[in-house]
Amino acid sequence: MNHLRVPLASVAEFDEIIDVRTPLEFADDHIPGAINAPVLSNEERVIVGTMYKQVSPFDASREGAAMVARNIAKHLDTLFADRPRNWRPLVYCWRGGMRSGAMTLMMNMIGWRARQLEGGYKTYRTDVVASLAALPPTLDYIVLAGHTGSGKTRLLHALADAGAQTLDLEGLAVHRGSLLGAMPDAPQPSQKSFDTSLVGVLRGFDATRPVFVEAESRRIGLITLPDSLMTSIRGTTRCVEVNVSVDERVELLTQEYGHLLMRPAHFRAQLLRLVELHGKAVVDQWLTLLDNGQQRELSEALITRHYDPAYTRSSRKLLQGLAKAIPFEFHPTAQDLRVQAQALLALTSPADRCGSEAAPQASSGDR
């Protein structure tokens, strides 16, 4: 048994977590709180891998060892130069192999009490995937449903500000969820990085309190939500249908998607993707509104012709509790969002839960 190896459960015992994989591997995902000290650069890893296949494993190992030694020396002279004598770092690479082994051995020769993560990042990723399956069913969800432009995300943030537990999936995915939902100048995380962030949030919830979450489709931009979470959200019997007037929805979309007018070519490309669904004549009308700078008219057209029919097709089929949802009149552009959130918390509190069954439902014209 290698006394320098420790299991994943020991992560919290260390002063610092060192990821020695390449910068590209680290950017894709890493253990929360880890810092990157690559023992092979992106380019060096390609060189060694190519040499392993095309020349020989021996030559690849010899060349790789020289690169690793130089990079470790550089990190010791710079990144780790100020670490104290009693420092206890945990080191990991992809599978707990040679890269992290070399760094761990050198650190212990210096006198630091470094340890190597058994199984490396692969073990951590396996734990994340298992947690994504196990954690969602342990929570009690209250789902916020409603048409696009109803300000559900604003309501979710106001609920958090009022002290509620909230799961902001669009925030984690860095995407508003709709066709035009890409955030300006903010790329989405990788799927693995999203999964890591999601597990961290789920682990922080108190299972005795409800978690408010927006109704989402399985994909948010390029991110796919885990099956267990989708099943748990769609299966909850506790739903709130957020009702907002069309005028307020148009105003909200005008505010939140106004940045698209600054990138008309991109906006046009997104609208053209809807030709197959709505036909060329309809999309041409929308493009004319875009070209003329008629933002409010375009927002209203998208609401009535695209978003609302899509909501009718999907949400009522997929959300089990929507038929008996609590109606909630919301004003997303008002100043009193926290007051409105507190009103919803009172409406969904355990004391009011029984009464909510008898609460008057919103008329079909309001939805």
Catalytic positions: 93
Q: How far apart are CA 320 and CA 179, in angstroms?
A: 24
Residue 9 DSSP symbol: G
| Strand order from edge to edge, sheet including 165-167 | 165-167, 211-214, 141-145, 239-243, 326-329
Structure tokens at 245: 């007037």
Matching residue, tokens 């690793």: 68
Residue at token pair 């550089």: 74
Q: Which of 213, 224, 226, 236 minimizes the C-alpha distance to 319?
A: 236
Show the DSSP H helices in 135-168 as ranges. Answer: 152-161
Structure tokens at 265: 């070519």
- Longest distance between any two alpha carbons in the chain, whole Å: 76
CB-based contacts of 109: which residues, under 8 Å, 6+ apart? none
Q: Report the SS3 class of residue 141.
A: strand
d(Cα 268, Cα 179) in Å, to the nearest integer?
12
C-beta separation of 212 from 297 below 8 A? no
Phi, psi values for residue 7, rounded to 5°: -80, 170
